[in-house]
Structure 1
């Protein structure tokens, strides 16, 4: 740990909110996260960490899931939250929750992710995590002029999660947890993150079990696809592909605003910013034949969430007007282009 922390008691459960596991990312955008500066004295960990800049999910349904007031957005968001039944040497199982929202929105501070009851009922240590999202977490730059300065930009958000799991390995015993019994679990986009981590060599040894509650990583972008997407995003940001250094000085809110524009005009689906099979952090598609066998010894429980995709149609005024010609746009985030027409044909049969 980087210093002492003080939490609070909630119905007999010790709660620590907003423990830093990484430094403020604003000074090294699109690069690997670094560890936080150690602090002296005792740090009060009583409030949730900031969230990654993002487009707010609209509608009363989504708003009802969020804490009030919502945590602020900033690039200093690499924090995690811990709920534990006791601060002792109990070596309890550890469950690390990865939030949904695709790779573009969400945070580990939603009320439905509050870990008190799970810690109580399961006698487990619960951890939730915030990390970089959308453009800040998955804008692939290495193949553009000057991009060699950002070799991991396409998977920065996933590498944040690796850093968080390293924190769990090194520190969770102090919270009554067992660093050799760590389960990562997530639903929807969180499930995608779970299965992606299992294909990342740097996460090997940090995960003992995995639960994918819908949203398995069917597909990772290729460098060519990700570079094409990056060019579109850079144009929307007002940044020349030949001047990547200027990305370092853009206001943080500019990235969220640009995501909103891209989503609204259909130029680029908002949740298309997903991990890249870059041959570095993520060598290949998590479930592809070329995927490394890093998780061969990790048991996985996998399932689906009934009717989950219905949520994605809440913002469409007239779902009956959706045509088969428009369906590839919906499938783009979950099905490789080569398979889209085959999938649609299967539903039409």
Structure 2
């Protein structure tokens, strides 16, 4: 047992032994008070006595599968966990992890993303907040309930800002340097990091950022938000005149309606529809993140951006027989997804062949189309938006794949996460990475990520020099065994999809 005195009260945590030494963990610490459903988070709570921080706090309400084995509580989910290396004195770099999950699912209690090993091995402080999800975090309501609910559409982002403010104040108590914080997230967590880059309220709360398989495109306009709210009301058995009933609707009923909305919208595409996402707001999120970054937002922040080669293989397994593949997907969707590319469906296979060195199978074409549309092309535009940034920018492509899933999943979505957190040999991670995941890959990702957090330069003993991303070289770290540095590794596809 270990006790720390924070600016908000005393916390009692515990020591966690591990292969890289001991870490100290403090779980489920509240970082903001709930101000009510759909309201911006309140101030950080203070307490007397000792807060027992040896068990994870409640997750945000979601489907039971999304929070399997965890309690959910919409009024007590604004909590975070902190890990620090035992016996190390500060100030240490602080890394704040934002979990993914399509803005609908997830929590910080996933054992794969527990920060104890990362903290102990590399001498960093790791923090991870829960934040509101789905309708509770992103529902447009001010047009129905008045200006008091103007923040409802971005409540989740305000939760993250509140968590970063808490970390800045509490970091010294955990041995962390409040002036050297890196925020990193994957998928929807990466999209949230991109949104933070564009938020005036988040300015100065972090010095560096890492976006793993995220996007800088997620920001809906007011019309989108109003249409979605009308659809949710219908699924709740309500209409606009009864919108105030959402304030007291049982949480479980709200989640069921939310899931029904997602199923209905996703039926139009082979992938999940991201119906709930941040909203444009003059005061909170004044522009789509990629546009804000291009205009100079967070220019001083150092940034790593990357994707996994087969980020969409969860939607289209790579070993799907040709006869079972909906080969019409690119032709059907290209007009909306890539209206600037003529004859994309016909041209994409030949560009993939140039990259792969062989003709792609039907499943590989459709998977690549979705991976490019959802993750890689938006990440590319975010890289290009940083051309005049004062901070350094780095690009990566994760290409390792687990032997037992290589044929079907390849370098799949989330596969890099256990290597970053040094948990690749744990029971939960083995399901994805197999029983003999290469320790060298964890060595590389752990060293690159934490050295970047410490100095802004991703480096490590014996590792290739990772040069900043710049045109025309477009240096990209290809994260595999071994790690390689490549110039514009998917150039034929990138050039096909490039926007003027």
Output the TM-score relative to the length of structure 2.
0.61
Rg (Cα) greater in structure: 2
1:10 equivalent in structure 2:
16
Aligned 8 A contact 2:262 2:275 in 1: no
Within 5 Å, give how 1:159-238 maps onto structure 2: 159-238=158-237
1:99 equivalent in structure 2:
99
1:299 aligned onto 2:294: no
Question: For residues 327 and 195 of structure 1, do their structure 2 counterparts lie closer, same or farther at Cα, with a shift above 3 Å needed?
Answer: farther
Q: Distance in 1 between matches of 2:55 and 2:324?
A: 40
**Cα displacement (A) at 1:83:** 0.4
**Cα displacement (A) at 1:348:** 3.3
Q: Distance in 2 between matches of 1:177 and 1:70?
A: 31
**Cα displacement (A) at 1:327:** 5.5
SS in 2 for 1:211: strand
Q: Distance in 2 between matches of 1:259 and 1:326?
A: 30
SS in 1 for 2:325: helix
Aligned length: 329
- Cα deviation 1:84-117 (Å, max 9, x = unaligned): 0147651100000111112111111111111111
Question: For residues 291 and 283 of structure 1, do their structure 2 counterparts lie closer, same or farther at Cα, with a shift above 3 Å needed?
Answer: farther
Q: Distance in 2 between matches of 1:237 and 1:112?
A: 35
Q: Distance in 1 between matches of 2:87 and 2:158?
A: 29
- Cα deviation 1:176-216 (Å, max 9, x = unaligned): 10000000011111111111101000000001000111112
**Cα displacement (A) at 1:296:** 1.1
2:434 equivalent in structure 1:
none
1:286 equivalent in structure 2:
289
Q: Distance in 1 between matches of 2:113 and 2:84?
A: 14
Output the TM-score relative to the length of structure 1.
0.86
Q: Distance in 1 between matches of 2:202 and 2:239?
A: 34
**Gap regions ≥5 residues in structure 1:** 59-65, 332-336
SS in 1 for 2:284: coil
**Gap regions ≥5 residues in structure 2:** 1-6, 348-500
Using CA pairs under 8 Å that are at least 6 residues apart, name the structure with larger relative contact order, 1 or 2. Answer: 1
Give the superposed CA RMSD.
2.6
**Cα displacement (A) at 1:319:** 6.1
- Cα deviation 1:128-181 (Å, max 9, x = unaligned): 110000000001112x23332200111100110000000010001100100000
Q: Distance in 2 between matches of 1:307 and 1:118?
A: 25
